[in-house]
Chains A and B, each alone.
Chain A
């Protein structure tokens, strides 16, 4: 006894034997499969189900207790099995849908095809890739592979695009892809059958595809054997970089394809792979006879060409319509071609542009990551921080995302019915402008006032005639507190709570009495004078003076020829120990903090600079002045130490240092002399002195963006 169940079919309550019901379901799903490429598949299936229900109902009306297999078979015979319907509809299958309906039907079909939908039937995530593939008319696998590869190489931007598409476009039961499919070919393979699968898709010889995959590797091997870059290291490097990455790419591509492509295992899949039209008869043919492969291939190829030509002409026609060219036939077809070329060019161009913008975006993000540890030094309030994020997000990112969205919509021809998108992006960008402006003005306000704090440095009271300036601390070295920043960076350090800089500026002035004096000046900018002063006082810098007492022995010969040794004691001098850097606490932010060390030398007093100053301290000074007209003047100067190392200077009565042996005072002058022609005799000391004393007057201390080397101007004059 078969089980009888009660079902609701198209609004009718019916009693049916369970096996019959199962068969009915199978039948309906086979019909659904058959009509899968039909635009209104669900409607047709609903109609058919309603009809079946009606006929079942009439059986029951006639007094049958329930629907049995016999009844079902009767109904199916009247309705027709998929292959029977296919036989009746033969004309429809070979030409495009509804060709018998004439032109009107055709335009309807192509118009509905123009809209982009996500594919609700065939999806891995949101059906975006499959939707695109369906729209473009290629195997969804290709689009998926592209998505995966690009996601890897674009740091997730492509994934973002995917999500945007997912949100923007509705899903629809798009007619599924019926063409050739990408499979791995297990019958003809070296590794995973990827190459021969591609070959089957493209209908070319697998040999060619394999060669393309191997080409970068072969070339690299070939070139390294021949060793063509014997003497050009640069050329070799460029070559290795480009081909090295190509080798990597082709291997990556192969592996990704291997993973992502399904293997063509069943006869059905193998036929799909070769793009053979699939119906029951074909499969039978294929299995039993082995079939005349070449003929089928030729047919498939012919169909392919035909289809491509048709699609192209359709596209051209559409373009011509778009361009609205009311001209005669010949001109119109020329116009079509021009329009098509233009469109291709347009998209290549903008595609390239979009790619460049993507790269720029990646660079911005990367820079953001790198400057991340610095962020605590930038904004002085939550307000500023909020504005900064709004600026980055709205002002920088919105136009990029907007452009990408626009590009994609253009590329897939989505109708511009969504004005709200433009409005949304426009409004967001305007907000970005506002926050960028507010952020800028808030930051500039932080530089409104500059304050300096001058403190005397206590020195030992020993009366001396000489001072040696030295940096005894080890040079500042980056402590690698942040994993983003690598390398042996010197001259600065950065941790979560302190920024250390080594640009210490040394100024030499004449003393107004007979003692050496040292002053430490700390500068900072702020929103108010108090804020600036507070910030300046937060700068931490150590320097100290020590009296150095050296015993010096002088050996001389007296008149008798005896050697005499005198111990001359108390040959003392002051040693000024400068710290190798000053630190700024993160809590006080970076607002152009800097320091100066002013050394006052008594007239006639001597001073020398140890080479450690040049080695360990940096020479640039960033000055931020706010002028009366509210404009900022930002300049770099290199006024640090213009004096030479290990040379004794004497303070002259004019307030300028003179070199003891009468040679050049300033470092850069020495360099100029060295660059002069060697055989030329050195100029008379008096001349040099004259020049040296002139130099400060001719060359103001503030020079914009100048390094240690001689400036072109100086070279000319020197």
Chain B
């Protein structure tokens, strides 16, 4: 077993969920998303973020519009679509189930002898 592989597999599933969560809170551009994830301690490579956003957009989970920025050219601001919202809520439910299940599993049970 390769530890890197397992780690990235674990992260991979959560990554989409996190991105969608951030976007759900309000229109955001990739720079914001990276900053926010870093701030909360989730290190990601920006190189993985862009393809992911594009794929989500192609799958009609996300949509974007160009917003003028104070300095420099306009930026892409992403927001959730109807479909994306349903998808997000589904993921959210799964996450709740998973996290409670995982927490339960990894917490040592009080042993009744």
Q: Is the CB of B13 within 8 A of A100?
A: yes
In the complex, A642 Cα to B65 Cα: how many Å?
A: 98
Q: Which residues of B contact A84 (CB under 8 A)?
A: 45, 47
Q: Which residues of A contact B100 (CB under 8 A)?
A: none
A552 CB to closest chain B CB, in angstroms? Answer: 111
Contact A57/B71 with A79-B46, A79-B47, A88-B45 known, Cβ cut-off 8 Å = yes
Among A10, A38, A50, the one with the most B-chain Cβ atoms within 10 Å of its Cβ is A50
The answer to whether B76 has its CB under 8 Å from any CB of chain A is yes
Q: Is the CB of B54 within 8 A of A40?
A: yes
Q: Is the CB of B46 within 8 A of A39?
A: no
Q: Is the CB of B47 within 8 A of A105?
A: no
- In chain B, positions 7-35 with a C-beta closer than 8 Å to chain A are 8-9, 11-13, 16, 30-31, 34
In the complex, A335 Cα to B75 Cα: how many Å?
A: 51
Q: Which residues of A contact B50 (CB under 8 A)?
A: 44, 47-48, 51
Among B12, B54, B61, B87, point to the contact of A44 (Cβ < 8 A): B54
Chain A 444-467 near chain B by CB (<8 Å), digits 1 or 0: 000000000000000000000000
Q: Which residues of A contact B44 (CB under 8 A)?
A: 88
The answer to whether A11 has its CB under 8 Å from any CB of chain B is yes
Q: Is the CB of A90 within 8 A of B47?
A: no
Q: Which residues of B contact A44 (CB under 8 A)?
A: 50-51, 54
Q: Is the CB of A80 within 8 A of B12?
A: no
- In chain A, positions 75-95 with a C-beta closer than 8 Å to chain B are 78-82, 84-85, 87-91
Q: Is the CB of B46 within 8 A of A78?
A: yes
Contact A11/B48 with A40-B54, A40-B58, A44-B54 known, Cβ cut-off 8 Å = no
B48 CB to closest chain A CB, in angstroms? Answer: 5
Among A48, A54, A79, point to the contact of B72 (Cβ < 8 A): A54
Q: Is the interface of A mostly helix, strand, loop or mixed?
A: helix
Q: Which residues of A contact B85 (CB under 8 A)?
A: none
Q: Is the CB of A87 within 8 A of B4?
A: yes
Among A47, A50, A80, A98, point to the contact of B59 (Cβ < 8 A): A98
A108 CB to closest chain B CB, in angstroms? Answer: 6
The answer to whether B73 has its CB under 8 Å from any CB of chain A is yes
Q: Is the CB of A85 within 8 A of B48?
A: yes
Q: Closest A-chain residue to B2, C-beta based?
A: A90
The answer to whether A666 has its CB under 8 Å from any CB of chain B is no
Q: Which residues of B contact A35 (CB under 8 A)?
A: 51
The answer to whether A123 has its CB under 8 Å from any CB of chain B is no
B61 CB to closest chain A CB, in angstroms? Answer: 8
Q: Which residues of B contact A89 (CB under 8 A)?
A: 8, 12, 48, 51
Q: Which residues of A contact B61 (CB under 8 A)?
A: 101
A231 CB to closest chain B CB, in angstroms? Answer: 73
The answer to whether B111 has its CB under 8 Å from any CB of chain A is no
- In chain B, positions 46-67 with a C-beta closer than 8 Å to chain A are 46-48, 50-51, 53-56, 58-61
Q: Is the CB of B71 within 8 A of A85?
A: no
Q: Closest A-chain residue to B73, C-beta based?
A: A11
In the complex, A82 Cα to B11 Cα: how many Å?
A: 18
Contact A108/B59 with A47-B76, A54-B72, A85-B48 known, Cβ cut-off 8 Å = yes
The answer to whether A227 has its CB under 8 Å from any CB of chain B is no
B19 CB to closest chain A CB, in angstroms? Answer: 12
B8 CB to closest chain A CB, in angstroms? Answer: 5
The answer to whether B103 has its CB under 8 Å from any CB of chain A is no
In the complex, A88 Cα to B10 Cα: how many Å?
A: 10
Q: Is the CB of A87 within 8 A of B8?
A: yes
Contact A57/B58 with A84-B47, A88-B8, A91-B12 known, Cβ cut-off 8 Å = no
Q: Which residues of B contact A315 (CB under 8 A)?
A: none
Q: Which residues of A contact B16 (CB under 8 A)?
A: 100-101
Q: Is the CB of B47 within 8 A of A80?
A: yes
The answer to whether A532 has its CB under 8 Å from any CB of chain B is no
Among B5, B12, B58, point to the contact of A39 (Cβ < 8 A): B58
In the complex, A50 Cα to B74 Cα: how many Å?
A: 10
Contact A101/B56 with A57-B72, A88-B11 known, Cβ cut-off 8 Å = yes
The answer to whether A31 has its CB under 8 Å from any CB of chain B is yes
- In chain B, positions 72-86 with a C-beta closer than 8 Å to chain A are 72-73, 75-76, 83
Chain A 6-17 near chain B by CB (<8 Å), digits 1 or 0: 000011100000
Q: Closest B-chain residue to A85, C-beta based?
A: B47
Q: Is the CB of A51 within 8 A of B30?
A: yes
Contact A12/B56 with A35-B51, A78-B45, A79-B46 known, Cβ cut-off 8 Å = no
Q: Closest 8 interchain pairs by CB?
A: A80-B45, A80-B47, A11-B73, A85-B47, A79-B46, A88-B48, A105-B59, A47-B50
| A-B contacts, 10 listed (Cβ < 8 Å) | A40-B54, A47-B53, A57-B72, A82-B47, A85-B45, A88-B47, A89-B48, A90-B8, A100-B13, A105-B55
- B-side residues, CB < 8 A to A, are 4-5, 8-9, 11-13, 16, 30-31, 34, 44-48, 50-51, 53-56, 58-61, 71-73, 75-76, 83, 87
- A-side residues, CB < 8 A to B, are 10-12, 31, 35, 38-40, 43-44, 47-48, 50-51, 53-54, 57, 61, 78-82, 84-85, 87-91, 97-98, 100-102, 104-105, 108
